Structure 1
Amino acid sequence: MINLSALPLPLLGAALAASLLLSQELGYRCGRRMGASDETTGAGHLLSAALALLGLLIAFTFSMASDRYEARRALVLAEANALSTTYLRIQALDDPFRGQLSQGVIAYGQARQDFFAAGEDNQKLAAASAETDALQARLWGDLVPALRAAPSATINPALLETTNELFDLAASRQAALEAHVPDAILRSLVVYALVAAAMLGYGMASAGRRHMVASLALFVLVSLAVTLILDLDRPRAGSVTISQAPFARTLEGLKTLEAARLRAPR
């Protein structure tokens, strides 16, 4: 079974447009051979219904892809905020815990940025993912002694909460990256578009004209819509990607704060 989400987008768009044209031609020839006519087949009504249903299916699939895109974008900001909040709350601790945890959070943020900058490079993704896991364990290992050193400190519950949230958001973003429009829905959309194109050709046979220019324009638009759906559904590749700018700005700001902290007299 062909995995539509793995095909290059330009190739898929061109192949779909060509397939729609071929399907229309087959429908046209079938209609001519069967002697279709407006008076006997009511092809216009059937065609209108088929195209309306195709439009609804495209809208439904686009909505699914768009919702996933928005969820991924919101998680970028959420993780950036959690990283910043964790770092700032760490500043309420005493040394040496403050220094260890501050540097650990900066390193963790850099590992997260490297993970999302890796694109579709599996080797870089694996390395960044392993670094994320290692830094989570290191941060937790440094945090527990810091909390135990001052068990009555009012900052402890808040710091524990935001650190847990930071780790949870990493898992949430990974899950969001893996959440795609099901291939079964994408394949159904393509099959339905091909059937609608065949019905269009059959309807044109009843009128005795192909209307190739108008048909080509329609098929190009349908192909672009399907390609855009797949583009939205590919967060690491394509032309519509999730901007990591909020996270990058936050990390740079924390690095500046950490540099100032290290320069400050003690």
Structure 2
Amino acid sequence: MNPLIAHPAILFVVLIVLMAIATALGAVVLRRIYPVPGDNRDDFNLVQGATLTLLALLIGFTLSMAVGRYDQRKNLEEEEANAIGTEYLRADLIEGPEADKVKALLIQYLDQRIIYYRTRDKDELSEIAVATARIEDEMWKTVRDVARDKPNPITGLVVSGMNDVINSQGYTEAAWINRIPVAAWCLMIAIAFFSNMMQGYGMRGSHVKAVLIVVLPLTVSLSLALISDIDSPRGGLIRVAPLNLLSLEASLKK
């Protein structure tokens, strides 16, 4: 299920086929086996309306969850850029060659973070993780040794800034992993399936069937695909661009 919801285009195709089958199942099979009696039409319309309302609420709440996670990823990208830029300035407080070393490592680290935001390749992600961990280790050892040699408030400020840089990367990683649970996806797709089947079951008139058998599956499929796109940091079209990191890179490399 995870690979499916991580690729919105594929999910859309699967959903529109599934929802069309559900609508056709209700319109063709269920109506022939047990047609809705005329005296029960009002009760059926009530249940149908409640089911579609529930589906709409679920889609709305899930979309809100996805947008919240997207906003969180954007905010954390800004925080990363601020932390790296602040530590780059604080590196000037270090006396000796360690200052240039910290600055050079921060630029390398910044390059890795930009690639992290842009890549879709899993193998490249593994390489980025290794390179990022190595650079973080070197940066931390450098400022730690400076703080041990000269334990004063100034070096403490530099160490604190480096800690913010490393923490911001960890927060970003956690936010990119945090996705809508698979159980929620399964429940929403199941309710969408039965809603489409009920819609097909209650249709009357051949010209109405031709329209409704397309409109509701298409609408539901597009909505769920949009949620998947927003909730997928790498698989969809809607992605967090490292604009703040790129701006910082341009200012540091002048």
Distance 1:240 1:35 in 2: 44
How many residue pairs match? The answer is 251
Contact in 2 for aligned 1:24/1:200 (Cα 8 Å): yes
**The one of 234, 242, 245 aligned to 1:244:** 242
Distance 2:160 2:10 in 1: 47
Q: Deviations over 1:171-206 (max 9, x none)?
A: 1111111111111111111111110011111212xx
Distance 2:26 2:212 in 1: 16
Asked if 1:65 is matched to 2:63, the reply is no
The range that moved more, 40-49 or 191-200, is 40-49
Distance 1:129 1:84 in 2: 21
Q: Which residue of 2 aligns with 1:133?
A: 133
Q: Secondary structure in 2 aligned to 1:60? A: helix
Q: CA offset at residue 106 of structure 1? A: 1.3
Q: Secondary structure in 2 aligned to 1:238? A: coil
Distance 2:90 2:221 in 1: 50
Distance 2:3 2:94 in 1: 51
Q: Deviations over 1:59-107 (max 9, x none)?
A: 1111121111111111100000000000001112212221111112111
Contact in 1 for aligned 2:200/2:209 (Cα 8 Å): no
**Structure 1 residue runs without a partner (length 5+):** 257-266
**Structure 2 residue runs without a partner (length 5+):** none
Q: Which residue of 1 aligns with 2:102?
A: 101
Contact in 1 for aligned 2:78/2:245 (Cα 8 Å): yes
Q: Secondary structure in 2 aligned to 1:123? A: helix
- The aligned runs of 1:205-224 (5 Å cut-off) are 207-209=204-206, 210-224=208-222
Contact in 1 for aligned 2:26/2:201 (Cα 8 Å): yes
- The aligned runs of 1:1-266 (5 Å cut-off) are 3-6=3-6, 8-28=7-27, 29-41=29-41, 42-119=43-120, 121-152=121-152, 154-204=153-203, 207-209=204-206, 210-256=208-254
- RMSD over aligned Cα, in angstroms? 1.8
Contact in 2 for aligned 1:38/1:44 (Cα 8 Å): no
Contact in 1 for aligned 2:200/2:212 (Cα 8 Å): no
In structure 2, what residue type is equivalent to 1:133?
A
* TM-score, with structure 2 as normaliser: 0.92
